[in-house]
Amino acid sequence: MTDEMFYLRREKQFLVLLGIICLALIGGALYMQVVLGEAPCPLCILQRYALLFIALFAFIGAAMPGRLSLSICEVLVTLSAVGGIVAAGRHVYIQTHPTESCGIDVLQPIVDGLPLASLFPLGFQVGGFCETPYPPVLGLSLAQWALIAFVLTVILVPLGIIRNRLKAR
């Protein structure tokens, strides 16, 4: 096995791990929604979409044979994480400024009009308000945890690509 093949395989393994983590985060959100009764707001649902897109592009990238197709999927993973940063960042802002609102009247019909809201309403339909304070998990709100996860993805995916590509030479 050449160095390039070794490092591409390592990159693909990282993407599979990232995809599994994103699906686990969606599973955790569904658990909190169904078992703990924490209804998702429009920004929560947008964060779930970002996690789903990250997982989807990560799995597709891991299945791609060549470096170019893998790189394209990694760029799409990073762009999906940037979208997640926007949604989670706005959510954190709203939660720290309780007089603000996520604009449920504006966002709800848009988010509920997305395809997965019809196909899987339990997981992708709006049911709550962004400013609702749910109990923190290890001291942070879910939006804060999501923001950390998205920022780490935006940093670590490109860093991993650069590191692996330099070592493969």
Overall number of domains in the chain? 1
pLDDT in tens, 114-138: 788 878 777 878 877 777 777 777 8
Rounded Cα gap, residues 7 and 160, in angstroms:
10
A 10 A CB-CB count for 36 gives 9
Whichever domain contains 11, its CATH number is: 1.20.1550.10
Parent domain of 89: 3-168
Rounded Cα gap, residues 169 and 46, in angstroms:
39
Q: Using an 8 Å Cβ cutoff, are 161 and 14 in contact?
A: no
Q: In this structure, is the dihedral angle defined by the CA atoms of residues 159, 160, 166 and 167, taken in order, positive or negative? A: positive
pLDDT in tens, 57-92: 999 999 988 778 888 899 999 999 999 999 999 989
Enter the pTM of the model. 0.88
